[in-house]
């Protein structure tokens, strides 16, 4: 049996300000650091060995992983992949969510934020938040200007199938430090969640999701480690 531990990074500075973040490379807040530390301690209690770790290009996920690995006494070796980045929020990037909801109306806001295949409007390439100006992506040819959850799924899942799934079939335990929509997209595949119900999958910050697989890589069960937060994997399918 193998385990995939999926951790949404601890609270970021923009999470704290209730802003759409996407590909903008903001760091953890003080609370986020504490959440990462708690994640490490929860994983420590599992008393299992981790064979390989993956994360995105974004420092809020990278720093969460490094904090966890330090608490576990593991070498901070990991694989970074832009495919594991958060969903790109297009023209919503940097905007306050409450103000945007008031401006757009609840229905349109919900479509942009939680629909399966409706992306927000494109982010202008000249925007200060555009990833075209970020040296992190100088070698990336297809930088998105916006993404729906489906677009995110279409890069996350192929990466998982090519680079991560094979380790699970070799009975290795994998740690993934990523983002809400990265893990939501992956959860859609692993838990076989419908397009309509995927918005119900809850991905809280700093609460490790433990997913068990059998020797063939088939999903067995899943649970969040911090049971005090009473987070459901999915409330209705």
Catalytic residue flag (residue 9): yes
In this structure, the strands spanning 209-213 and 219-224 are antiparallel
* Residue 215 DSSP SS3: coil
Task: Enumerate residues 6+ apart whose C-beta is below 8 A from 56.
Answer: 62, 80, 81, 82, 84, 85, 86, 177, 178, 179, 182
CA atoms of 180 and 183, how far apart (whole Å): 5
Catalytic residue flag (residue 179): no
CA atoms of 218 and 20, how far apart (whole Å): 34
Which one of 86, 147, 165, 179 is the catalytic residue?
86
Task: Quote the DSSP letter at residue 9.
Answer: P
Burial class, 149, CB count within 10 angstroms (exposed 0-12 / middle 13-18 / buried 19+): buried
- Residues with catalytic annotation? 9, 86
């Amino acid at each position: 049996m193998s385990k995939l531990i999926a951790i949404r990074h601890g609270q970021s500075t923009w999470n704290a300000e209730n802003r759409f973040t996407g590909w903008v490379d903001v760091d953890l807040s003080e609370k986020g650091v504490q959440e990462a530390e708690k994640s490490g301690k929860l994983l420590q209690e599992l008393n299992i060995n981790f064979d390989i770790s993956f994360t995105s290009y974004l420092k809020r996920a990278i720093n969460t992983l490094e904090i966890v690995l330090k608490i576990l006494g593991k070498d901070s070796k990991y694989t970074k992949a832009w495919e594991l980045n958060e969903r790109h929020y297009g023209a919503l990037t940097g905007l306050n969510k409450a103000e945007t909801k008031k401006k757009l109306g609840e229905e349109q806001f919900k479509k942009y934020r939680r629909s399966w295949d409706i992306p927000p409007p494109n982010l202008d390439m000249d925007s200060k938040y555009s990833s075209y100006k970020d040296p992190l992506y100088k070698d990336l040819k297809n930088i998105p200007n916006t993404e729906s959850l489906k677009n995110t799924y279409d890069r996350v899942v192929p990466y998982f199938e090519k680079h991560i799934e094979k380790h699970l079939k070799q009975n290795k335990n994998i740690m993934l430090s990523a983002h809400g929509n990265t893990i939501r997209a992956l959860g859609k595949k692993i838990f076989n969640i419908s397009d309509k119900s995927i918005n119900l999958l809850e991905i809280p910050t700093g609460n490790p999701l433990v997913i068990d697989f059998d020797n063939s890589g088939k999903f067995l069960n899943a649970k969040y480690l911090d049971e005090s937060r009473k987070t459901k994997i999915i409330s209705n399918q």
